[in-house]
Amino acid sequence: MSAAPAKLFGVPAGTESTKCKYCPATIYFVRSPKSGGLIPVNCDVDGGSHPTLGAPLFGEVAADGRGASHFVDCPGADEARKRGQR
């Protein structure tokens, strides 16, 4: 039996990326629609896409991205959760 697909969260166009402190992943912090708190989102997952800034001068349009909670696949997720609860 295969694992259920990860729930994908929207990442608004223009959201700046950062590197995870616990692994080399590129993540984006977005507001959880449920709690309103910030969650790390990894767009390098099945069905994911990175947001773009767009460059109107070159005809590029800004686009939203989508990805899964990085707490699902980060090896340091437990440590990150503990830090957030302090």
Q: Tens digit of pLDDT for each residue in 43-59?
A: 999 999 999 987 667 77
Give the pLDDT mean for 51-79: 86
Q: What is the pTM of this model?
A: 0.80
* Torsion region of 48: left, alpha or beta (phi above 0 gives left; psi -120 to 50 gives alpha): beta
pLDDT of 53 = 85
Strands 38-42 and 65-69: antiparallel
What's CA 48's distance to the chain center, in Å?
9
Per the prediction, the chain carries an average pLDDT of: 86
What b-and-e string marks burial along 9-40, b requiring 16 or more CB atoms within 10 Å of the CB? bebeeebeeeebebeebebbebeeeeeeeebb
